């Protein structure tokens, strides 16, 4: 007798109250004897059959290539096989549009705007292509309301919609109807009869993902899958899909800020770390083609505000880094280092370097740093700007907003050239900035 966790699919010979693999409680169920035995006998039967009838096909590489070409599958991705989404920012992140048969995972926190942008995109695409929107999270009425609000339902709207949540039924629709693109909103709402888990569990997500992947590749249908994640980083569901799909996109931003950043984390057919910027408005998502306008809002008069630049994919984005340093009340309570937009550990390191090597002691101060506009930056090129902003705040000495600070800071206080520095200088010059050069040591900032 065997038991299986209906959350992650782990199996055990003993019943467990708490699954030792995913730590969920009360998820173990007895695995029906018949199910496992019929499954194995079936698979061995088909295995035997195939042995007797026809061996698996194998071809020399040149024949393989030609046969694929004849069948119409793309052996090579060229610009012609891409479908433009109608949003140039979305296309940029994908590397020029959606590739036929590509499977894309779009993850993000609930409420960030995934359904909104995908609905706008499907509507644009449905004008020339056959598109299906699987709305598993919203009822037909909710969907129709949203559609009407965003684009307006007209006689000429050709977008097809279903609230079907059975993965196999959706796969057979893909097979029979010849869609160019299908949107699955969301993978957590789908249910495959071949998994015993509840919708959204790891085993369900995995099986549904595999089924959709196969359907996409067999029918040359592009599939955009929505994966919900939450703030605690419980991305276990969509995470299991990441290695499976061709492209992983994240939509991020602050709930109370209208800007949304679309980022590619994995891309088989294009660049990674490219970003697209959107603004959430009352009428849906609007693209922001010059993101520097959004992230640079400084008027240059306040201390603690410094301009920096970061290379995001192929584009230089200018940003404003703000810092506020305040004396701690008699040293009570833990020292605070609050970072918004950069990693807290990076801020702690920069504070330590500044204290020890930069002549600005921060041990008696709380430090708050914020990157304006809600952009999260992993690029160490902003180190110099963070340090300059902290120093400016401590000395209450404003820095000109025509100066751009870029450079990575090491533990000995040295300032290093970063990737894309030349591009930043070129772009800075073009826009009338002075890129701060010649500073080699943190004490000289
Ligand atoms: P939604 O696309 O449903 O998010 P997700 O699919 O990622 O969960 O977005 C929901 C939020 O967006 C909700 O707070 C309302 C807001 N919104 C707008 O601001 N403008 C709009 O045109 C729409 C449709 C939603
Ligand atoms: Mg949604």
150 CA: nearest ligand 1 atom: 22
Kindly give the pairing relationship between strand 82-83 and strand 98-99: antiparallel
End position of a domain, from candidates 289, 312, 334:
289
Question: Cα of 296 to ligand 2 centre, how many Å?
Answer: 30
For residue 280, the ligand closest to its alpha carbon is 1
Angstrom CA distances, 358 to 38, 212, 338, 370, stand at 71, 55, 20, 21
Question: Cα of 121 to ligand 1 centre, how many Å?
Answer: 14
Question: Cα of 13 to ligand 2 centre, how many Å?
Answer: 39
Contact 125, 222 (CB under 8 A): no
Domain total in the chain: 3
Mutate to test the pocket of ligand 1, among 110, 189, 280, 281 (most ligand atoms within 8 A of CB): 280
Angstrom CA distances, 106 to 111, 237, 258, 265, 339, stand at 13, 12, 19, 10, 26
Same domain, 179 and 213: yes
Count of beta carbons in the 10 Å neighbourhood of residue 246: 22
> How many CA atoms lie within 13 Å of 204's alpha carbon, on the beta-carbon side?
21
Question: Cα of 250 to ligand 2 centre, how many Å?
Answer: 14
Prediction pTM value: 0.75
Question: Cα of 137 to ligand 2 centre, how many Å?
Answer: 7
Question: Cα of 114 to ligand 2 centre, how many Å?
Answer: 6
Query: Exposed, middle or buried by CB within 10 Å (0-12, 13-18, 19+), for 72?
Result: exposed
Report yes or no on 62 lying in a domain.
Answer: no
End position of a domain, from candidates 289, 309, 329:
289
Element of type H or E holding 415: strand 415-416
Count of beta carbons in the 10 Å neighbourhood of residue 155: 5
Nearest CA to ligand 1 atom 10: 111
Report yes or no on 264 lying in a domain.
Answer: yes
Nearest CA to ligand 1 atom 22: 284
Mutate to test the pocket of ligand 1, among 108, 115, 116, 187 (most ligand atoms within 8 A of CB): 116
Query: What residues form DSSP beta bridges with 339?
Result: 369
Same domain, 126 and 262: yes
Same domain, 283 and 299: no
Angstrom CA distances, 291 to 121, 263, 275, 287, 318, stand at 21, 14, 10, 9, 8
Q: Which residues, by Cβ under 5 Å, contact ligand 2, an ion?
A: 115
pLDDT computed for residue 117 by the predictor: 95
Contact 73, 66 (CB under 8 A): no
Same domain, 175 and 215: yes
Note the Cα 67 to chain centre separation in Å.
35
For residue 137, the ligand closest to its alpha carbon is 2
How far, in Å, CA of 45 to CA of 200, rounded?
A: 32
Question: Cα of 274 to ligand 2 centre, how many Å?
Answer: 23
Nearest CA to ligand 1 atom 9: 113
284 CA: nearest ligand 1 atom: 22
Query: What residues form DSSP beta bridges with 192?
Result: none
Query: Exposed, middle or buried by CB within 10 Å (0-12, 13-18, 19+), for 106?
Result: buried
CATH code at position 116:
3.40.50.300
Nearest CA to ligand 1 atom 15: 111
Interior angle at CA 294, CA 304 and CA 309, nearest 5: 60
Same domain, 21 and 98: no
Question: Cα of 256 to ligand 1 centre, how many Å?
Answer: 12
- Structural domain for 34, as ranges: 2-45
pLDDT computed for residue 64 by the predictor: 67
Same domain, 297 and 270: no
For residue 136, the ligand closest to its alpha carbon is 2
Which of 217, 195, 215, 216 minimizes the C-alpha distance to 206?
Answer: 195
End position of a domain, from candidates 259, 289, 319:
289
Report yes or no on 52 lying in a domain.
Answer: no
Plot region of 337 (φ>0 → left; ψ -120 to 50 → alpha; else → beta): beta
Residues with CB under 6 A from ligand 1: 108, 110-116, 146, 149-150, 280, 282-284
119 CA: nearest ligand 1 atom: 2
255 CA: nearest ligand 1 atom: 14
| pLDDT tens track, the chain, 445 positions | 788 887 777 888 888 888 888 788 877 877 765 444 444 444 444 444 444 455 676 777 777 677 666 554 444 545 448 999 999 999 999 999 999 999 999 998 888 999 999 999 999 999 999 999 999 999 888 988 898 888 877 777 889 999 999 999 999 999 999 999 999 998 999 999 888 888 888 888 889 999 999 999 999 999 999 998 865 555 556 778 888 999 999 998 876 778 898 999 899 998 887 889 999 998 899 998 887 777 776 666 789 999 999 988 778 888 999 999 999 877 678 889 999 999 999 999 999 999 999 999 999 999 999 998 778 899 999 999 999 999 999 999 999 888 999 999 999 999 998 888 888 888 888 888 889 877 788 877 7
- Look up residue 31 and give its DSSP letter: E
Nearest CA to ligand 1 atom 18: 282
Nearest CA to ligand 1 atom 21: 284
Element of type H or E holding 247: strand 247-252
Report yes or no on 192 lying in a domain.
Answer: yes
Contact 218, 73 (CB under 8 A): no
Same domain, 141 and 36: no
Report yes or no on 75 lying in a domain.
Answer: no
Edge to edge, the sheet with strand 315-327 lists 337-340, 365-371, 315-327, 305-312, 403-405, 434-435
Q: Residue ranges of the alpha helices (H) in 308-382? A: 344-357
109 CA: nearest ligand 1 atom: 7
For 156, the token pair is 């000429």
Angstrom CA distances, 35 to 38, 43, 201, 210, 311, stand at 5, 12, 20, 20, 54
Max CA-CA distance within the chain? 84
Contact 110, 189 (CB under 8 A): no
Same domain, 147 and 169: yes
For residue 146, the ligand closest to its alpha carbon is 1
Tell me the helix, strand and coil percentages in the chain, rounded to 5. Answer: 35, 25, 40
Contact 126, 98 (CB under 8 A): no
Same domain, 365 and 256: no
Same domain, 273 and 315: no
pLDDT computed for residue 234 by the predictor: 53
Report yes or no on 28 lying in a domain.
Answer: yes
Does the CA dihedral 429-434-440-442 come out positive or negative? negative
Same domain, 100 and 246: yes
- Look up residue 437 and give its DSSP letter: -
Same domain, 136 and 212: yes
Report yes or no on 71 lying in a domain.
Answer: no
258 CA: nearest ligand 1 atom: 19
pLDDT computed for residue 98 by the predictor: 95
CATH code at position 379:
3.30.230.10
Element of type H or E holding 104: strand 103-108
Report yes or no on 58 lying in a domain.
Answer: no
């Amino acid at each position: 007798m065997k038991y299986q966790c209906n959350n992650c699919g782990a199996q055990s010979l003993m019943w467990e109250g708490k699954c030792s693999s995913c730590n969920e409680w009360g998820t173990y169920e007895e695995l029906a004897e018949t199910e496992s035995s019929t499954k194995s006998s079936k698979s061995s039967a088909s295995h035997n059959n195939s042995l007797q009838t026809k061996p698996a096909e194998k071809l020399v590489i040149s024949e393989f290539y030609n046969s694929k070409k004849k069948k119409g599958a793309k052996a090579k991705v060229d610009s012609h096989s891409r479908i433009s989404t109608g949003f140039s920012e979305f296309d940029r992140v994908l590397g020029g549009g959606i590739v036929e048969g590509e499977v894309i995972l779009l993850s993000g926190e609930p409420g960030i705007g995934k359904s909104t942008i995908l609905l706008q995109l499907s509507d644009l695409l449905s004008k020339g292509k056959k598109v299906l929107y699987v709305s598993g999270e919203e009822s037909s009425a909710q969907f129709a309301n949203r559609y009407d609000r965003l684009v307006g339902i007209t006689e000429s709207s050709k977008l097809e919609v279903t609230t079907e949540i059975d993965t196999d039924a959706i796969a057979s629709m893909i097979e029979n109807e010849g869609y160019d693109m299908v949107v699955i909103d969301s993978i957590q709402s789908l249910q495959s009869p071949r998994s015993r888990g509840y919708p959204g569990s790891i085993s369900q997500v995995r099986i549904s993902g595999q089924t959709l992947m196969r359907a996409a590749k067999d029918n040359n249908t592009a599939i955009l899958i929505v994966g919900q994640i939450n703030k605690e980083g419980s991305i276990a569901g969509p995470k299991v899909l990441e290695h499976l799909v061709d492209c992983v996109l994240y939509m991020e931003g602050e709930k109370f800020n209208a800007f949304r950043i679309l980022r590619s984390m994995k891309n088989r057919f294009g660049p990674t770390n490219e970003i697209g910027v959107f603004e959430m408005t009352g009428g849906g998502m609007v693209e922001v083609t010059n993101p520097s306008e959004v992230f640079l809002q400084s008027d240059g008069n306040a201390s603690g505000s410094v301009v920096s630049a970061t290379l995001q994919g192929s584009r230089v984005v200018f940003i404003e880094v703000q810092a506020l340093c305040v004396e701690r009340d008699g040293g009570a309570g833990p020292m605070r280092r609050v970072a918004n937009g950069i990693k807290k550990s990076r801020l702690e390191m920069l504070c330590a370097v500044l204290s020890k090597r930069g002549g600005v002691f921060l041990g008696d101060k709380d430090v708050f740093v914020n990157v304006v506009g809600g952009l999260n930056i992993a690029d160490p090129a902003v180190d110099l700007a963070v340090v300059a902003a902290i120093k400016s705040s401590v000395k209450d000495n404003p820095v000109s907003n025509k100066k751009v600070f870029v450079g990575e800071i090491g533990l000995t206080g040295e300032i290093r050239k970063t990737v894309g520095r030349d591009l930043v200088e070129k772009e800075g010059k073009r826009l009338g900035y002075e890129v701060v050069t010649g500073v080699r040591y943190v004490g000289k900032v």
